[in-house]
Amino acid sequence: MPAQPLFIGGTSSNAGKSWMATAICAWLRRRGVAVAPFKAQNMSNHSFPCRGGGEIGRAQVAQAEACGLEPEPAMNPILLKPGATGCHVVLNGHPWKTLPARGYYEAAAELRGHVRAAYEDLARRFDVIVIEGAGSVSELNLREVDLVNLGLVTALDAPWLLVADIERGGVFASILGTVGLLNPHERALFRGFAINKFRGDLSLFDDGVRLLETRTASPCFGVFPFAAEIALDAEDSLSIPATHGEPPPGARIAIVRFPCLSNATDFRLLTWADWISAPPPDDYDFVILPGTRSTIPDLSWLRASGLADWIASQHRRGATVIGICGGFQMMGRAIHDPSAIESEVRHAHGLNLLPADTVMHHDKTTCVRTATTAAGTSFAAYEIHIGTTTLDGAPPPFARFADGRDDGACVPGAIGTYLHGALEHPDVCAELFRIAPPAAADRSAQYDRLADWFERHARNLPHLGLGIAAP
């Protein structure tokens, strides 16, 4: 028997769809349901390699973990990674094409078949599929090419609920406006709405719930409070948290916020670090160049913004520059892109902080790693990059893999590595920054808290039609 789908749509971007979908996944798993996540199309430069091969969006990785599953490409068949010259389309976990927006929409019919095949693959293996939408479900101009929102809902005859963010205001207009724009098929599958990110006394919105239930003729599935104590991976760079806390002595850190920044989750432990987009007036002990979807274009931006000269001056005065993935490539002498994979620029001079040269090529490295630093710290990490970097003079590596191969390079004042996730380990941070940040909260404990949060505040769940009784 095929799985029962449940679609989670939003009134807008950042309304809490990923959060709600992850919470429902964790709650269903707790109740013994074989559940899997699905997002047909995700736009994010935050991705993660699956152990079985390929990469998917970070939010679906979290949802898979909440389900107790190993992430796999079927959970996110289309991943769009925006860059300087269009979107790099990752299809079923692997590079497909780089397309402009219009070109992507022209490919919608072809891509729709891949979406349906991925969904049906999961539906044969699980009891419930929790489907996350993208952005707002009310983008009427995209209805004909929709792969991820209500076009998918009607294709699957999937019951669905709408999530609205009350924190940003306009919750009545966003819910009533969205419901008012539904066509008859979409309206017939609509089961109700949920209010997310409420701060304060939840009972203060009781009248609001009654008004919305009356106007929509649909039930409210709960008013859910803002939960600062629960930490989930950010889906994209829009969710980079604000800096908080004083920098520890000797560990003042600046992180460059590239236009095509990728995998900002690398820095979840560095809560005191300053994210910068222009040369700041202050000096730092460490400057970090993160990963990027478009290395040469972001290197050009680094120079145009004045940050390249600022980084050089910080390096001269004694700061250590750390580059991860694309940031590592920038720290070398040159980057070559003979096939114009990233942009029309075929060659760029690097920052000349490491004795390295990088050549871009079509083959993409996506793999999970276990590595050990020179000081003996073992850690898990992952690689997602194009390009091969060659080092001159055999500088000490950043880390070594179990098979004896080396990663990255370390010279006085400069460290480069391809390993995303290295700085998510407190012991690695302690080795680099001479201070141990607090460890990130245990992921399984976070999913338990999220299931508790959902169970405590959910209501009217029989209306979802999953055959599961209310908490």
Give catalytic residues, as residue numbers: 325, 420
Q: Which residues, 6+ apart, have CB-to-CB distance to 272 below 8 Å?
A: 243, 244, 245, 246, 247, 248, 251, 253
Report the C-alpha gap between 100 and 89 in whole angstroms. 10
Is residue 389 within 8 A of residue 357, CB to CB? The reply is: yes
Q: At residue 29, what are phi and psi to the nearest 5 degrees?
A: -60, -40
Is residue 350 within 8 A of residue 334, CB to CB? The reply is: yes
Q: Which residues, 6+ apart, have CB-to-CB distance to 183 below 8 Å?
A: none
Q: Which residues, 6+ apart, have CB-to-CB distance to 133 below 8 Å?
A: 7, 8, 9, 10, 17, 39, 148, 149, 150, 152
Q: Is 297 helix (H, G, I), strand (E, B) or coil?
A: helix
Report the C-alpha gap between 198 and 2 in whole angstroms. 36
Dig out the tokens for 348 from the structure: 């760029």
Is residue 3 within 8 A of residue 87, CB to CB? The reply is: no
